[in-house]
Structure 1
């Protein structure tokens, strides 16, 4: 058996187990049992689709080309781009003076950008694959990004970190340092 086939079998078994546990059907018999299984399978499909979208977005943010993504998924780069291209970052138009859109950013520079913005009192309240929406306060902020790990996130929360949100494969957190924010230099 090839490694690829063994991996596929393992995924199939895991999904079947999740379906049976969540549908709460031990031995399907009647119409209602089968309808619970159908509903459960539809939920699994929706979640898998969401996971695929987020992993493609993460790969793009890490510099993976549309050509490579398309080849991995058995489609052209144009088809992959059309299907998975993320929406544009929200417009800064209409934001109040204490809000900004920080971006475009990538996996490689977003933490540096957030660290710089945090010194001036800006902290993330929303993010996408290429941006962070930040709001300003009177204190400096720290930001961190960790690989999704419930135990690690719990430990960070116990240390005063606040969860901003998660986007596979990361959870983003922030913490108010209590230090007064630096004064921003005037715009050129």
Structure 2
């Protein structure tokens, strides 16, 4: 998708202005409003950086190489890997928690639902992994695009968000009123 620079800037500026609907009218008469705008813009800058890191991690989990990511972002493979290649620390598993690793955007929901049938539900996630926790009921998991109608519909139907978003996804879960299947998935 190729959005012209001016249109892109306008979309971002409108999004920032919507965070405080009163700011536009106050800019002509209140010096403090300019500082508030700077604070909102800085928050948007920090959030954009977090979204960029998350989308790069999502690209890696979907199978993109560092070469492809670097090329898409206008940098070398090495620069992309140095800037974005640090993975979060994964806590060690215990009897109530497991790490499902090697997950991709193409297999993670199926895997989570296999584990969910055995009474495990996701409690956190990151690039190519989910941390699952044991419970006394079955669970089902879904993924939706952040801010989409589907995400809103699922949440309005009682689906619980898991952790914080991983751009462009949010993950949701819901218990099923059935005892877990015996054993543990292989």
TM-score, normalised via structure 2 length: 0.84
Residue 148, structure 1, aligned to residue 167, structure 2? no
The Cα RMSD (Å) is 2.5
Deviation at 1:177, TM superposition (A): 1.2
Q: Deviations over 1:55-92 (max 9, x none)?
A: 11111111111111111211110110111124245132
Distance 1:83 1:177 in 2: 41
Distance 2:153 2:38 in 1: 38
- What is the DSSP-based 3-state SS (H/G/I as helix, E as strand, rest coil) of the residue aligned with 1:180? coil
Show the counterpart of 2:12. Answer: 15
Which protein has the larger Cα radius of gyration, Structure 1 or Structure 2? 1
Distance 1:86 1:114, change over 3 A: farther
Deviation at 1:135, TM superposition (A): 0.7
Show the counterpart of 1:124. Answer: 122
Distance 1:107 1:172 in 2: 12
Contact 1:25-1:37 within 8 A present in 2 as well: no
Distance 2:156 2:33 in 1: 42
The higher relative CO (CA closer than 8 Å, separation ≥ 6) is in 2
Contact 1:19-1:40 within 8 A present in 2 as well: yes
Contact 2:125-2:131 within 8 A present in 1 as well: yes
Distance 2:157 2:48 in 1: 33
Q: How does 1:64-83 map to 2 (within 5 A)?
A: 64-83=64-83
TM-score, normalised via structure 1 length: 0.84
Distance 2:139 2:185 in 1: 21
Deviating more after overlay: 163-172 vs 48-57: 163-172
Aligned length: 182
Deviating more after overlay: 35-44 vs 54-63: 35-44
Q: How does 1:11-160 map to 2 (within 5 A)?
A: 11-22=8-19, 24-26=23-25, 27-28=27-28, 31-92=31-92, 95-160=93-158
Gapped regions of structure 2 (runs ≥ 5): none
Residue 167, structure 1, aligned to residue 166, structure 2? yes
